[in-house]
Structure 1
Amino acid sequence: MAHLTRRSAVATLAAAVAVPALAGTARAAAHPSRPRPLRRTHAHNDYEHIHPLFDALAHGFTSVEADIFLVDGRLLVGHDPAELDPSRTLESLYLDPLRKLIRANHGSVYRGYHHPLQLLIDIKTEGAATYLELDRHLVPYRHLLSSCAHGRVRTGAVTAVISGDRGARTPMEAQRVRYAFYDGRLDDLGTAATASFIPLISEAWTDHFTWTGTGPFPAAERAELRDLVARSHAGRQRLRFWATPDSAGPERDVLWRELYAAGIDWFNTDDLAGLETFLRAHGE
């Protein structure tokens, strides 16, 4: 898809995901143009790939991350202020392509699989003001999005989750109708903030664990990991760690195996092909 226009890329991927998944994990892995969605896959800084959104979907990913900056009323996507491009907005890279794709696939991101795509929106400018502007930008896409109205959740084809600057929490909690949810922290486990507001718990791996895949996993840390997964699941919340080792090699493989065995909900990676290969080899 390197030379396709954005419009033709949408059409090409829509056709690709409409094809029924191939039988058997080996055949599916051999044909990434016909992906079966992988429920634990989070594309960290997805917008840095050659084809934002589409590269992740071609590998079966079910969560993508976009960093946003509020600039003159526009939500620009990028990692640093110096690299922002006025043409790379949340709408142009994600919301508009998703609307076309979902329409082409009769209501789903992956045709035949009613598995919502998580769109993790990481706010890089002041949280409250950016979220209030973001909310206005999400309303025209509300028919695509999961929502919460008066405490009742309706699941759509895309679930927007707000991360980054924590100032977004106050205006979000004040809303009676929302088209986005909040990315919590471990301190939110077991509190009054339920999964209808905080469906996702995210933390930096290195803030809680010393082990990064070299040598044996300390027994106390393994027990802590499994306890955190269990506590998240008890609240119907999903757990993600960022800042895990992400360079291909034995350390990453053994750490991923421990995360898999513990039942982690999201593997956070920049290596789309590497994670797809790992999870399909484990029967996902």
Structure 2
Amino acid sequence: MALTTRRRALTTLGAALAGAVALPAVPARAAAAHRGPHPLWNAHAHNDYEHPHPLFDALGHRFNSVEADIFLVGDQLLIGHDSSELDPTRTLESLYLDPLAARVRAEHGSVYRGWRRPLQLLIDIKTEGSSTYLELDRRLRRYPHLFSRCAHGRIHPGPVTAVVSGDRAARIPMAAQTERRAFYDGRLTDLGSTAPASFIPLISDNWTTNFTWTGEGTFPGAERQKLRGITAAAHAHGQLVRFWATPDAAGPARDALWTELLAAGVDYLNTDDLAGLEAFLDARPTA
């Protein structure tokens, strides 16, 4: 049931965010021959920039979603988890936008050669949301063929889909735009709202503030039902689901929790352990 519901969500988004980059049609056999390794659609690299090789480590483990925290410092968008660790050489462009543009050129129009679903770039705003988003918007527009965009409510897919998270004030200037190259990361409070999936394609929230289970023992029935209700409601509206702050220490508890998340139709598993999640997903049937 969960897998069917998730496929329905992807169908609702259709040729939109979880859909396909417009590439020339080729015979199925030829397309398969030119494909690279199968991406891990459910894999989200939390705090990706803290790995030795930001972006590239996640792509090497076939992740299809990466997260970058940004700070507006002057007119620069710097990458880091805390303002005390910012480095003027570590910009959004140098670590993510320029490498992604080069990768898409090298891979003939997609991040993973032959796979048409866009890579999700989750951009977590750590400074004041409105001003930071406006600067981000200016940067994204410098890459006209890289990012999915929304014009007058219609989505035009690109190789990369930028989703804006973090400071909630970013929503105001985003909602006022008739054309955007970014989308909004909603919260559970946005579930069932009138905001369309073309604006809020992703619902994310803190696991620990919504559930008590951390993978030890049996998943309480009421919590399992609550989780499946969340994913069903989101998918019915064409939205995908992610939780942060899920247990991330390797072991049976994490595996049990990840198993329940997938069974419930959660679309992205959040981790800092790239190899661990890759191994976990590779041991399961491909969705």
TM-score normalised according to structure 1 size: 0.88
Q: How big is each residue's C-alpha offset from its partner over 1:58-90, in whole Å with a ceiling of 9 and x where there is no partner?
A: 111000000000001000000011110000000
- 1:194 partnered with 2:196: yes
Q: How big is each residue's C-alpha offset from its partner over 1:102-130, in whole Å with a ceiling of 9 and x where there is no partner?
A: 00111100111112000000000000000
Q: How big is each residue's C-alpha offset from its partner over 1:180-229, in whole Å with a ceiling of 9 and x where there is no partner?
A: 00000111111110110000000000111000011111000000011101
Q: Take 1:180 and 1:19, find their aligned partners in 2: how far apart are those partners?
A: 32
Q: Take 2:249 and 2:144, find their aligned partners in 1: how far apart are those partners?
A: 37
State the match for 2:163 in structure 1. 161
Instruction: Give the gaps of 5 or more residues in structure 2.
Output: 1-31
State the match for 1:37 in structure 2. 39
State the match for 2:184 in structure 1. 182
Aligned-residue sequence identity (percent) comes to 68
Letter aligned with residue 75 of structure 2: G
In terms of mean alpha carbon deviation, does 68-77 or 136-145 score higher?
Answer: 136-145
Letter aligned with residue 282 of structure 1: R
Shift of 1:20: 5.2
Q: Does structure 2 retain, via aligned residues, the 8 Å contact 1:127–1:165?
A: yes
- Count of matched residue pairs: 255
State the match for 1:273 in structure 2. 275
- 1:208 partnered with 2:210: yes
State the match for 2:28 in structure 1. none
Q: Does structure 2 retain, via aligned residues, the 8 Å contact 1:213–1:254?
A: yes
Higher relative CO (Cα under 8 Å, sequence separation at least 6) belongs to: 2
Q: Take 1:20 and 1:268, find their aligned partners in 2: how far apart are those partners?
A: 29
Q: Does structure 2 retain, via aligned residues, the 8 Å contact 1:35–1:59?
A: no
State the match for 2:68 in structure 1. 66
Instruction: Give the gaps of 5 or more residues in structure 1.
Output: 1-17, 22-33
Query: Equivalences for 1:240-259 in 2 at 5 Å?
Result: 240-259=242-261
Q: Does structure 2 retain, via aligned residues, the 8 Å contact 1:19–1:111?
A: no
Post-superposition, which runs of at least 4 consecutive aligned residues in structure 1 deviate over 6 A?
Answer: none
Task: Return the match for 2:134 from 132, 144, 148.
Answer: 132
CA RMSD in angstroms comes to 1.2
State the match for 1:29 in structure 2. none
Q: Take 1:251 and 1:110, find their aligned partners in 2: how far apart are those partners?
A: 31
Task: Return the match for 1:143 from 139, 142, 145.
Answer: 145
